[in-house]
Chains A and B, each alone.
Chain A
Amino acid sequence: MPTWQPPPRFTRPDPASDEGGLWAQMDRAEANLRRSPFRLRDAALERTVQQIACRLGEAHCPDIRVYLVHTPYFNASMAPNGMMQVWSGLMLRTDNEAQLAAVLGHEIGHYLQRHSLERLRDAKSRSAFGQFAGMFGAIGLIAQFGAIAGMYAYSRDQESEADRIGALLMHRAGYDVAEAAKVWSNLLLEVQARPNGSSSSPLFATHPPTEDRETALHELAARYAGGASGEADWLRSISTFLPTWLNDEIKRGQHEESIAFLTRAIARPAGKAEYLFARGEVYRLRARSGDSDQQSALDDFRAAIAAGNEPPETYRGLGMIYRARKEPAAAQASFARYLELAPKAPDAAMVRSYIEELRT
C-alpha cells in the first residue's frame, strides 16, 4: 500500500460498454437526487462536506459532487460517475471532521479502485444486480436494511482495500487516522446494543471480521500518526441541524441503538442539552410502568435544563412524566413552560388539554 498512488482522473466511458451503461444509470439517479425533496439544501454545510471530500480526493476533486441527504441512517456512498451521497444519520454520528473524512475517504477508495465496476461484472443474476443498484441509493427502500445500508454490498477484500486507501487519503489530507477506528467501534456499539445483538446484522456477512478490521485500522493509525480531528469546526457546522436530526433519531423507534449513540454524544463539547433531552425522550418513549426508564428520562431532562439552552420539548417531557406520576402541580408548571417557549407547537392543543385535565 505505501506504493499505492491514485489513478489519473477518469474519463467518461464508452456509452456502449458495461461501464458506460453504469455511468448512464448513475447519471439518471443523480438527476433524481438533485431535485429530490430528501436533498438537504444547505449551501454552507454542503460546501463544508464538499471541501472535506476534495481534500481527500486530491486531483479527483473536480469529479466529486457531494449531495447531503436527509435520512436518519448511517450511510454514505460514492457512485462511479462521481455522485457522492452523505446521509444525515451519518453526519449526526460523526464526532468530528476526521471521522467524516474516514467514511468519505473509504468511499473515495472504492471509487478510485473502481470497485463498483468489479461488482457489476460479478453480478451474474438480476437479484444481485438489485442489491448492486441499492449501493448508491438508487433504490428508495435501501434504508430498510438498517443503519449500514449502502455499505455491505462490496466484498470483504474490497472493504479492506478501501479502508487502507481511505486511511492514506486521510493522512495526506492532514486528518488523524486514529478517528477511523473510532467510527467503526462507535457503529459496533450501536449494532451490539440492539435487542437481538450483532449476530443477525448483514454488516457482518460481508465486512471483514470485527476484530480484524479494528486491528487493521489501529495499525494504519500507528503507521500514519499525527493529524487533526477538526472537532470544534464540525460540531459548529452541524449545530443548526441538531434539533431536526435528533428528532429523526428519537422517532426511529430503535431505542437501544439511540441510547448507545446519545450516551456517547453527550460527551461532545457542544450541544450537551440537546443530546441529554434526546436521550431522555428516548427513555421516556421506551419506558414501561415500573421500570427505571422513566427515572432515567427525568434525570436527563433535569440535566438538560441544568446544562442550559435546553429544547422547549424538555418541559413537555417533564410534564408527561409528572402527569404519569400523579404530580399535578409539577406537571402543570412544566406544560405551561413548554407552551410559553413553544406556543405554536403542533401539539399545543393536546398539551392545553392536559393542563385542563390536571386542574380538575
Chain B
Amino acid sequence: MRVLFVVLLAAALGACAPMPSKVDTGSKTVGERMVLKPDVAWNELPGGTPAHVWTMEGLPIDQLFIYSGIKDGEAIDPAGNSSNAKHFRFRSSMQADEVASLFEGLLTRNGSTFELTKLEPASFGGGKGFRFEYTLIRKADNVPLSGLGFAAVNGGQLFAVVYNAPRMTFFPRYEARVEQLAQSARILPAPAAPVAAAAASQAARDSQLGRGPPCATPMECNSRGVGR
C-alpha cells in the first residue's frame, strides 16, 4: 500500500497536475445538452474535451468521464494522442455493445485489461439508454479498478457518464453517488435548426396524435421505446 501511495503521489506531483474547480450540488449543465444534479460536491478538472472529468478523490484515484453531445465521427479520446493508434470515434449508428466496446478500447489502449461484467438496458438522461459494469486492471500500476457507465444516444449524439475507481475501497465508497448522478441526468432537446422548423411542427402534431417522430438510429428508437 505504501508503494502504491508513493507511485500515486509521484504521478500526481510529477504530472504538473492541473488545478480542479469545485462542482457544487444542485443543477449543473454539462456541455450544451446535459444537466446533472449532483447531491454532493465533486471536483472538475480543466479541459472538458471531449470528456468533462470529475473526481472525488483526485487523479489518478477515481475518474468520472462525462460525455455530452459527442457527434457522429467525433473521437472520445483526447486530441493530440502521440501514438500511431487510430482514434476511437463515435458513430450515431452504434448499438449499446458497440458503445461499450468503444469505451473498452479507450480504457485499454495503454495495455490495461478490461472485462465487461454487465450490459443491460437502463434509464438515462430522461429516456431509455443502457448501463454497463466492468473491471479494469490498470497497466501503469497494476491496480484493479471497478467501473460503471451509463449511456444513451439522443439526436444522433452520445451522452455518457463513465466512472472507475480502485476496486477495494474507493469504488464501493462512491458507487451510489455515481448511480445518483446518472439517474439525475437529463438530456435537453437539440436546438431546432431553421430548416427543421417544419419538421418540429410536424413532430408536435404527431405528438398530439400519439405518434413519435422517426428515429435517427435504431439505438435511438430503442432508447425512446419506439417500435420499428
Chain A residues within CB distance 8 Å of chain B: 32, 36-38, 70-73, 140-146, 194-196, 200-202, 248, 250-256, 285, 288-289, 316, 320, 323-324, 326, 346-347, 349-350, 353-354, 357, 360
Question: A146 vs B95: C-alpha distance in the bound complex, in angstroms?
Answer: 28
Question: A32 vs B227: C-alpha distance in the bound complex, in angstroms?
Answer: 54
- Which residue, A36, A196, A346, has most C-beta atoms of chain B within 10 A? A346
Question: A141 vs B104: C-alpha distance in the bound complex, in angstroms?
Answer: 17
Q: Is the CB of B108 within 8 A of A349?
A: no
B2 at the interface (CB under 8 A from A): no
Chain A residues lying within 8 Å of B118, measured Cβ to Cβ, are 346-347, 349
A-B CB contact pairs (8 Å), 23 listed: A32-B142, A37-B137, A37-B144, A140-B110, A140-B138, A140-B139, A143-B109, A144-B109, A250-B101, A253-B88, A253-B101, A256-B86, A285-B98, A289-B93, A323-B95, A346-B119, A347-B96, A347-B116, A349-B118, A350-B96, A350-B97, A353-B120, A357-B227
Q: Is the CB of A254 within 8 A of B85?
A: yes
B130 at the interface (CB under 8 A from A): yes
Interface string of B109-140 (1 = CB under 8 A from A): 11101101111110000000010000001111
Known: A140-B140, A200-B84, A349-B120. A252 touches B109 (CB 8 A): yes
Contact of A146 among B83, B88, B93, B106 (CB under 8 A): B83
Question: A121 vs B98: C-alpha distance in the bound complex, in angstroms?
Answer: 48
Q: Is the CB of A353 within 8 A of B86?
A: no
Which B residues from 177 to 228 make CB contacts under 8 A with A? 218, 222, 227-228
Q: Distance (Å) between the CB of B71 and the closest chain A CB? A: 14
Chain B residues lying within 8 Å of A251, measured Cβ to Cβ, are 101, 104-105, 108, 114
Q: Distance (Å) between the CB of A350 and the closest chain B CB? A: 5
Question: A253 vs B99: C-alpha distance in the bound complex, in angstroms?
Answer: 12
Identify the closest chain A residue to B134 (Cβ): A346
B24 at the interface (CB under 8 A from A): no
Question: A195 vs B120: C-alpha distance in the bound complex, in angstroms?
Answer: 33
Q: Is the CB of B84 within 8 A of A346?
A: no
Q: How many chain B residues touch A (Cβ–Cβ < 8 Å)?
A: 41
Contact of A324 among B108, B119, B141, B218 (CB under 8 A): B218
Q: Is the CB of A194 within 8 A of B86?
A: yes
Chain B residues within CB distance 8 Å of chain A: 82-86, 88, 91, 93, 95-98, 101-102, 104-106, 108-111, 113-114, 116-121, 130, 137-142, 144, 218, 222, 227-228
Chain B residues lying within 8 Å of A250, measured Cβ to Cβ, are 101
Q: Distance (Å) between the CB of A5 and the closest chain B CB? A: 37
Question: A353 vs B95: C-alpha distance in the bound complex, in angstroms?
Answer: 13
- Which residue, B82, B88, B114, B120, has most C-beta atoms of chain A within 10 A? B120
Chain B residues lying within 8 Å of A349, measured Cβ to Cβ, are 118-121
Identify the closest chain B residue to A70 (Cβ): B113
Q: Distance (Å) between the CB of B110 and the closest chain A CB? A: 5
Question: A194 vs B86: C-alpha distance in the bound complex, in angstroms?
Answer: 8
Chain A residues lying within 8 Å of B101, measured Cβ to Cβ, are 250-251, 253, 285
Question: A202 vs B24: C-alpha distance in the bound complex, in angstroms?
Answer: 45
Chain A residues lying within 8 Å of B83, measured Cβ to Cβ, are 144-146
Give 20 new A-B contacts, CB below 8 A, not counting A144-B85, A144-B111, A251-B101: A37-B113, A38-B113, A71-B111, A140-B110, A140-B111, A140-B141, A140-B142, A143-B111, A146-B84, A201-B84, A252-B105, A252-B109, A253-B85, A253-B88, A285-B101, A324-B93, A349-B121, A350-B96, A350-B121, A353-B120
Contact of A253 among B105, B139, B222 (CB under 8 A): B105
Contact of B93 among A252, A288, A316, A346 (CB under 8 A): A288
Chain B residues lying within 8 Å of A195, measured Cβ to Cβ, are 86
Identify the closest chain A residue to B93 (Cβ): A289
- Which residue, A70, A144, A289, has most C-beta atoms of chain B within 10 A? A144
Chain B residues lying within 8 Å of A202, measured Cβ to Cβ, are 84
Question: A357 vs B220: C-alpha distance in the bound complex, in angstroms?
Answer: 13
Chain B residues lying within 8 Å of A346, measured Cβ to Cβ, are 116-119
Q: Distance (Å) between the CB of B96 and the closest chain A CB? A: 6
Known: A140-B141, A347-B97. A254 touches B86 (CB 8 A): yes
Question: A196 vs B141: C-alpha distance in the bound complex, in angstroms?
Answer: 31
Known: A38-B142, A251-B101, A320-B97. A353 touches B121 (CB 8 A): yes
Chain A residues lying within 8 Å of B97, measured Cβ to Cβ, are 316, 320, 347, 350
Identify the closest chain B residue to A254 (Cβ): B86
Contact of A350 among B108, B120, B142 (CB under 8 A): B120
Shortest Cβ-Cβ A-B pairs, 3 listed: A253-B105, A143-B111, A140-B140
Q: Distance (Å) between the CB of A133 and the closest chain B CB? A: 14
Chain B residues lying within 8 Å of A255, measured Cβ to Cβ, are 86
- Which residue, A140, A142, A326, has most C-beta atoms of chain B within 10 A? A140
Question: A251 vs B85: C-alpha distance in the bound complex, in angstroms?
Answer: 13
Question: A143 vs B93: C-alpha distance in the bound complex, in angstroms?
Answer: 30
Chain B residues lying within 8 Å of A353, measured Cβ to Cβ, are 120-121, 222
Q: Is the CB of B109 within 8 A of A347?
A: no
Chain A residues lying within 8 Å of B109, measured Cβ to Cβ, are 143-144, 252-253
Known: A37-B142, A194-B86, A288-B91. A252 touches B108 (CB 8 A): yes
Q: Is the CB of A323 within 8 A of B108?
A: no
Known: A194-B84, A200-B84, A350-B120. A323 touches B218 (CB 8 A): yes
